[in-house]
Amino acid sequence: MNHIVPVILAGGSGTRLWPLSRALYPKQFLALSGPQTLFQQAVLRLSALGNEQISVGAPLVVGNEEHRFMLLEQLREIGIAAAALLLEPAGRNTAPALTLAALASQIEGGTDPILVVTPADQTVTDDAAFTKALQQAIAAAADGSLVTLGIVPDRPETGFGYIHSEGASTVRKVKAFVEKPDLATARRYLADGGYAWNSGMFVLRASVWLAALTHFRSDIAQATQAAWAGRSTDASFVRPDKVAFAAIPSESIDYAVMEPCPARQQAGFAVKMVPLDAGWSDLGAWDAVWQVSERDALGNATHGDALIEDSRNTLVHATSRLVGVVGLDNVVVVETPDAVLVADRSRSQQVKQIVATLQKGGRSEGTLHRRVHRPWGWYDSVDAGPRFQVKRILVKPGATLSLQMHHHRAEHWIVVSGTAEVTCGDRKTLLTENQSTYIPLGDRHRLANPGSIPLEIIEVQSGSYLGEDDIVRFEDTYGRVPSA
């Protein structure tokens, strides 16, 4: 029996799906095609691979340190516990990420499991075809091959890299990986039939990956092993050494290993491809979201409270209010509480340039939503002005904020629903609906929800400075580093 360990690479930023996707809440944590998020879909798909020849272990998730609580919460929502959450202190692309998982799998998954590796931000519409193709890939990887999934193309696509393979069997020899083509080349690839889109999904033994990486990029292998050797563990969170990890060269799985293999067969690493025809999409931009969405007779797709008149091939995604459009053709309109995107659908790849401009200007809209998620719940900045700010705060049942104080602001709390346990100085009180309290500037305080239903409060802040960095933490349930 082949034992597999699912590996979910969840560290992407999804800048081309702005304004819905933000740096601290990227697209893999969004529900863009169904009730579950893309990350949850990826975990559930790999968990379904088991049969009489395949046993499936708990998944290994590689993600950003900043996203750790979202990863944990979204796993909890679907009832799956990860073997480990491997937290990258900085982005170093997919080759170091897979290497962390390979090293961890030899502890968590046995001596030498087969790793089934997928990005966290893809979707498929035919789960049965996906499962069958992955099971074929697992059988091929059992003999030591490096196996990739190649998407059967249905159009001349210039936004993907391609895999050139030979043969017509379910497992094919890879001749070469080729870069994103121009339109004429993409049309030739489609007519040829021997080319597939590069999905970024891989199936291989942990030992084979480590050996191949050592052969082709020993610098990445050695640097990642050094970071792994200095790791720290906190429950399911595993953190490689921060300084050592920063020294790892940034490289993708494709460039580090997969592309050199077919060109240098003398190295002894066999690269194979299994075709995948399962309604796959990487949802890389708003045009891809439109393509996988349910559309009306005129090609229009909507999400949320949207009205469309006399328009064609248009996507309207509304999240917080009514959006009406008239007379549009091939347009994307995406509304969030703090930003609106209007773009030609065929140029949706260029949305990342808007994000780059926001980051260059130091604006928060590229990083955060108005609603900011925290391990204890979330807060929504409803209104703000000189020397005041109003927030709506939700605290999950049983959750507790840190014991903290502020140098520059006082706070008023009004309970909207649920029960609040309030610590202020040496006093601890319980507040229920329509009751309120005042937190003076400089007082140590804490908010907790001792009840079984969510706690919602309205917080009114007043003071000379209202930034989130005016928090001095003394105790924290979630292990966040106390503020200086």
Query: Please, what are the domains in the chain?
Result: 2-276 (3.90.550.10), 286-359 (no CATH), 371-475 (2.60.120.10)
| Distance set, CA 322 to CA 302, 310, 392 (Å) | 12, 17, 21
Rounded-to-integer distance, Cα 407 and Cα 155, Å? 59
Rounded-to-integer distance, Cα 468 and Cα 401, Å? 14
Alpha-carbon 480 to chain mean position: 21
Strands 455-463 and 409-417: antiparallel
- Count other Cβ atoms within 10 Å, centred on residue 214: 16
pLDDT of residue 108: 62
Residue 4, Cβ density class (10 Å: 0-12 exposed, 13-18 middle, ≥19 buried): buried
| DSSP per-residue string spanning 120-171 | SS-B-S-HHHHHHHHHHHHHHHTTT-EEEEEEPPSS--SSS-EEEEE-SSSS
H or E element in which residue 100 lies: helix 94-108
Q: Which residues of 463-484 are buried (b: 16+ CB within 10 A; e: fewer)?
A: beebeeebbeeeebeeeeeeee
| Distance set, CA 245 to CA 18, 115, 317 (Å) | 28, 22, 38
**pLDDT one digit per residue (tens) for the chain, 484 residues:** 899 999 999 998 889 999 999 999 999 999 998 889 999 999 999 999 999 899 999 999 999 999 999 999 999 999 999 999 999 999 999 999 999 999 999 876 567 999 999 999 999 999 999 999 999 999 999 999 999 999 999 999 888 999 999 988 899 999 999 999 999 999 999 999 999 999 999 999 999 999 999 999 999 999 999 999 999 998 889 999 999 999 999 999 999 999 888 765 556 789 999 999 999 998 989 999 999 999 999 999 999 999 999 999 999 999 999 999 999 999 999 999 999 999 999 999 999 999 999 999 999 999 999 999 999 999 999 999 999 999 999 999 999 999 999 999 999 999 999 999 999 999 999 999 999 999 999 999 999 999 999 999 999 999 999 998 899 999 998 877 654 4
pLDDT of residue 159: 86
Strands 306-309 and 323-326: parallel
Look-up: residue for tokens 């933000």? 22
Rounded-to-integer distance, Cα 246 and Cα 338, Å? 34
pLDDT of residue 483: 46
Residues 286/296, Cβ–Cβ less than 8 Å: no
Rounded-to-integer distance, Cα 290 and Cα 71, Å? 26
Look-up: residue for tokens 């690839």? 189
pLDDT of residue 109: 55
pLDDT of residue 484: 42
- Beta strand ranges found along 406-481 (DSSP E): 409-417, 420-424, 427-431, 436-439, 445-448, 455-463, 472-475
